[in-house]
Structures are given as structure tokens and as C-alpha cells.
């Protein structure tokens, strides 16, 4: 997923939990769904960032030398400017892009 092209706002927005949890029927379950997706997004972002930063890593174990690479700094700044994973997950939930199921509820039916 390309997180750089997301339409998620960078700042926090107050949401009405009643309308947010209307589809699921339970506020706590809604928060759990969003939290699990936020964890997934966080892991994906971290892996993507580490993959890009590995290109710049040096294999010399010298603590005295510290290299500053402009490209590496720009990549880090780009990822710092992205919205938080919880905001991305909330926006995905609102847009209906998250698939979720509850096996306990499925057994009761």
C-alpha cells in the first residue's frame, strides 16, 4: 500500500463514537478493529522505512565516524510527515476499506 498518497488528515479530528461504531454495534469492538489495523500499518511502515534506509547503511563498525547523508535525512523527514497509523486506520474504517469479522459472533448465528 502506498501510504504517501493517503488522503488522511495529519492532525487529529474529533469523531463521534456513536456514528463510528454504528456498523459494528459495539464501541469497544470498533476501537479494537481500528487498533489492530493501526498495528498492521505501523509494521508495514517500519519495514518499508528500514528497507529504504538499508541502502544507506555502512558496514563499518567505527563509532567515531558518523555519516550524514542528505537522501537518508529526506527519506526520514518524509516518513515523519506522514499521518499516524491510528489516523490512517480510522480513515480506512470510515471509508469501509477494512475487512473484519468476529468468529464468536459467527458461531452464534
C-alpha 86/C-alpha 91 separation (Å) is 9
106 domain-assigned:
no
> What digits encode the pLDDT tens for the residues 45-68?
999 998 888 877 666 555 555 566
First to last CA, the chain: 34
pLDDT in tens, the chain (109 residues): 666 667 777 788 888 999 999 999 899 999 999 999 999 999 999 999 988 888 776 665 555 555 667 888 888 888 888 999 999 999 999 999 999 988 887 788 6
How far, rounded to the nearest angstrom, does the alpha carbon of residue 39 sit from its chain's CA centroid?
A: 6
The number of beta carbons lying within 10 Å of the beta carbon of residue 80 is 8
pLDDT of residue 30: 95
Domain that holds residue 12: 3-57+65-100
pLDDT of residue 62: 58
108 domain-assigned:
no
pLDDT of residue 59: 62
17 domain-assigned:
yes
Beta strands in the chain (DSSP E): none
Give the residue among 49, 47, 31 at the shortest CA–CA distance from 89: 31
The structure's pTM equals 0.80
Q: Domains in the chain: how many in total?
A: 1
Amino acid at each position: 500500500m502506498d501510504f504517501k498518497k493517503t488522503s488522511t488528515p495529519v492532525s487529529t479530528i474529533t469523531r463521534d463514537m456513536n456514528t463510528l461504531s454504528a456498523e459494528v454495534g459495539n464501541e469497544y469492538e470498533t476501537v479494537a478493529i481500528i487498533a489492530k489495523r493501526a498495528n498492521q500499518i505501523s509494521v508495514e511502515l517500519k519495514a518499508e522505512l528500514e528497507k529504504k534506509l538499508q541502502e544507506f547503511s555502512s558496514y563499518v563498525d567505527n563509532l567515531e565516524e558518523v555519516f550524514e547523508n542528505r537522501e537518508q535525512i529526506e527519506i526520514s523527514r518524509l516518513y515523519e510527515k506522514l499521518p499516524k497509523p491510528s489516523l490512517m486506520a480510522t480513515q480506512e474504517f470510515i471509508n469501509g476499506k477494512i475487512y473484519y469479522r468476529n468468529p464468536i459472533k459467527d458461531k452464534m448465528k
